[in-house]
């Protein structure tokens, strides 16, 4: 039989009898195409029947192929799928699942991210990679980032019904968490359900019959709806913020509002012990500064991207297509400022949880005990571990963001590298030609468009982390309030704008 006929036969078996598909796939041998078909069936069917060993065989084939064909983005996408399936085929035993599957999920995120941003990848591979990266992030409750990647997947392929169904899940989760405007969320959920129903053919090509059934079952009871157009007129800056999902709002998909203060995510209340101190808890000052730092970093990025800073300097040309000027420096500063927010999130978290060393911590180190040996496995600090085991999924999300930033295999690691470059060395951006190498090691050279894209993603990451921080507090406060007996005395925290008279 021709390989196309074998592939079609195995795909039909995959939906009807995955165990038999595995048996047939194991018989395949021959050239690289037969090996890759075998690997694809072993991964997909193995994931369906949760056979870890079968998935592992498929992963090994894809890993060898990636080594031999390093420029092939589709192979990296397939390896990422295999690594994700490896995690999903590991028996779930509560929080220990995250620890057991940490390495495979970390590597899978990296390969999905690489495939999604590869210049030689097809739009299908980019769209599927963004979608599956969203799925993988959602498995550790990183729902804001997942929503962003589903949105990017739809930009690559506007008919990607798997991505719209994924985005729908994230908004349903926001509703369950009582985050955001109920009416706006429901309207968007109904639109996304309609989009998925209208694109079943794409869902089948991306996820097979098994995927179609799962998505149809999930959305069958949701009413149809159209995409709502914003009721408010937007200026150029606000349009940029909204189109890139950069609002600090609990209704993460929408900017619709009736106030100029549309970055309105906040902590409503925290419980404190009875004492003679009736001052507003410090966490309110912390969230205010996290928000204002983020909003400034976002404005810096917008101004730099649109070259709105006036240039008063003249520069020497280094004859390597490098770009110099205040707008380039502002872009590097925006990226650095966005990452600095993460360290403040870590400080605020440890302070709120009353864990020692808060003022000297960093986002990379905040969550873990100091290692006794360099190569020892990271272990959570006791209070962090207890809070996660008590069901604080937002804190779990923050710790997993940290792993992606600090681990060399993490898909966010390069953001930390560029931040360190612009802080301690010299960041040089190039808009044409090859990227230079620094002889002294004091210069870090980047492609301008790539740096621009990564800086935008860094802003999204900072936004996600601030939202996770707020959600972490809300989850904990709700749990603690349910455990309290006796009298609760509220302390009213007024609007800063009202106190200062900014709206008079």
**Residue 237 pLDDT exceeds 60:** yes
Mean pLDDT of 284-302: 96
**Residue predicted with more confidence, 264 or 380:** 380
Of the chain, the percentage scoring pLDDT greater than 90 comes to 63
Task: Determine the Cα–Cα distance for residues 342 and 398; give it in Å rounded to an integer.
Answer: 9
| Angle subtended by helix axes 18-26 and 32-48, to nearest 10 | 150
Task: For residue range 131-175, list pLDDT tens digits in order.
Answer: 999 999 999 999 999 999 999 999 999 999 999 999 999 999 998
Looking at residue 66, what is its pLDDT?
96
pLDDT category of residue 488 using cuts at 50, 70 and 90: low
Is residue 243 pLDDT above 90, yes or no? no
CA distance 403 to 87: 16
**Cβ atoms 403, 375 nearer than 8 A:** no
- The reported pLDDT for the residue numbered 47 is 92
β-strands 322-323, 443-447: how paired? unpaired
Which pTM does this prediction carry? 0.91
Strand partners, 368: 380
Cβ neighbours for 137, distance < 8 A, ≥ 6 positions apart: 109, 143, 145, 146, 149
- In contact, 161 and 203? CB cutoff 8 Å: yes
DSSP 367-433: TBPPPSSTTSPP-B-HHHHHHHHTT-HHHHHHHHHHHHHHSTTSTTHHHHHHHHHHHHSEEEEESSS
198-207: which pairs have CB atoms within 8 A and are 24 or more residues apart?
Answer: 198/161, 199/159, 199/160, 199/161, 199/164, 200/161, 202/157, 202/159, 202/160, 202/161, 202/162, 203/161, 203/162, 203/165, 206/128, 206/131, 206/160, 206/162, 207/162
- pLDDT value of residue 346: 97
Cα torsion through 425, 430, 433, 435, rounded to 10:
20
Given a cut of 90, whether residue 325 has pLDDT beyond it is: yes
10 within 8 A of 25, measured Cβ to Cβ: yes
- The stretch 180-189 carries a mean pLDDT of 87
Segment 324-342 shows an average pLDDT of 94
Burial of 181 (0-12, 13-18, 19+ CB in 10 A): middle
Beta bridge partners of 429: 323, 446
Tokens found for residue 364: 């990379």
Q: Quickly list DSSP for 62-78.
A: HHHHHHH-TT-HHHHHH
pLDDT at 415: 81
Q: Which residues, in sequence order, are CB contacts of 99 under 8 Å at separation 6+?
A: none
pLDDT at residue 368 greater than cutoff 80: yes
Give residue 279's pLDDT band: very low, low, confident or very high (50, 70, 90): confident
pLDDT at 230: 65
Sorting pLDDT into bands at 50, 70 and 90, what band is 257? low
What is the pLDDT, as a whole number, of residue 54?
96
Q: Dihedral sign for Cα 94, 98, 100, 104, please.
A: positive
Question: φ and ψ at 445, to 5 degrees?
Answer: -100, 135
Q: pLDDT digits over 65-104, tens only?
A: 999 999 999 999 999 999 999 999 998 888 889 999 999 9
Q: Is the pLDDT reported for residue 114 higher than 80?
A: yes
**DSSP sequence for 461-501:** HHHHHHHHHHHHHHHHHHHHHHH--S---------HHHHHT
Listed in sequence order, the residues at least 6 apart from 88 whose beta carbon sits closer than 8 Å to its beta carbon are 47, 50, 139
Cα–Cα distance measured from residue 333 to residue 430, given in angstroms and rounded to the nearest whole number: 17
Q: Which residue has the tokens 């870890």?
A: 52
Question: Over the stretch 29-44, which tens digit does the pLDDT of each residue have?
Answer: 888 999 999 999 999 9
């Amino acid at each position: 039989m021709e390989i196309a006929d074998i592939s079609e036969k195995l795909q039909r078996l995959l939906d009807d009898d995955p165990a038999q598909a595995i048996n047939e796939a194991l018989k395949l041998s021959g050239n690289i195409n037969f090996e890759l078909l075998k690997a694809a069936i072993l991964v997909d069917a193995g994931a369906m029947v949760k056979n870890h060993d079968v998935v592992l065989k498929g992963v090994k084939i894809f890993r060898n192929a990636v080594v031999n064909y390093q420029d092939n983005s589709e192979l990296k996408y397939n390896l990422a799928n295999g690594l994700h399936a490896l995690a999903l085929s590991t028996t779930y035993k509560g929080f220990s699942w995250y620890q057991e599957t940490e390495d495979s999920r970390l590597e899978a995120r990296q390969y999905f991210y690489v495939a999604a941003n590869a210049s030689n990848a097809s739009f299908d591979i980019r769209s599927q990679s963004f979608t599956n990266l969203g799925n993988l992030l959602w498995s550790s409750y990183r729902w804001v980032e997942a929503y962003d990647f589903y949105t990017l997947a739809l930009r690559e392929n506007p008919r990607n019904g798997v991505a719209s169904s994924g985005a729908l899940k994230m908004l349903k989760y926001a509703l369950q968490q009582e985050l955001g405007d109920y009416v706006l969320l429901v309207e968007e959920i109904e639109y996304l359900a309609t989009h998925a129903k209208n694109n079943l053919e794409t869902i089948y090509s991306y996820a097979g019959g098994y995927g179609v059934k799962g998505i149809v079952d999930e959305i069958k009871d949701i009413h149809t709806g159209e995409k709502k157009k914003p009721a408010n007129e937007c200026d150029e800056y606000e349009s940029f913020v909204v189109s890139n999902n950069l609002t600090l709002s609990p209704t993460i998909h929408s900017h619709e509002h009736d106030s100029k203060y549309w970055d309105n995510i906040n902590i409503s209340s925290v419980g404190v012990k009875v004492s003679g101190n009736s001052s507003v808890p410090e966490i309110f000052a912390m969230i205010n500064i996290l928000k204002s730092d983020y909003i400034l970093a976002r404005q810096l990025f917008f101004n730099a991207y649109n070259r709105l800073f006036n240039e008063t300097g003249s520069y020497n040309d280094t004859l390597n297509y490098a770009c110099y000027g205040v707008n380039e420096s502002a872009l590097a500063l925006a990226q650095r400022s966005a990452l600095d927010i993460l360290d403040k999130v870590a400080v605020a978290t440890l302070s709120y949880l009353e864990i020692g060393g808060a003022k000297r911590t960093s986002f990379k180190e905040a969550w873990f005990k100091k290692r006794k040996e360099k190569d020892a496995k990271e272990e959570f600090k006791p209070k962090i571990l207890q809070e996660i085991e008590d069901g604080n999924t937002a804190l779990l999300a923050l710790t997993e963001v940290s792993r992606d930033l600090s681990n060399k295999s993490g898909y966010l690691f390069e953001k930390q590298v560029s931040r360190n470059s612009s802080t301690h060395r010299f960041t040089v951006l190039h808009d044409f030609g090859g990227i230079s190498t620094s002889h002294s090691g004091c210069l870090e050279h980047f492609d301008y468009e790539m740096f621009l894209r990564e800086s935008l993603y860094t802003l999204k990451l900072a936004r996600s982390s601030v939202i996770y921080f707020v959600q972490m507090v809300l989850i904990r406060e709700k749990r603690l309030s349910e455990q309290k007996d006796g009298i609760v005395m509220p302390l009213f925290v007024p609007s800063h704008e009202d106190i200062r008279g900014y709206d008079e």
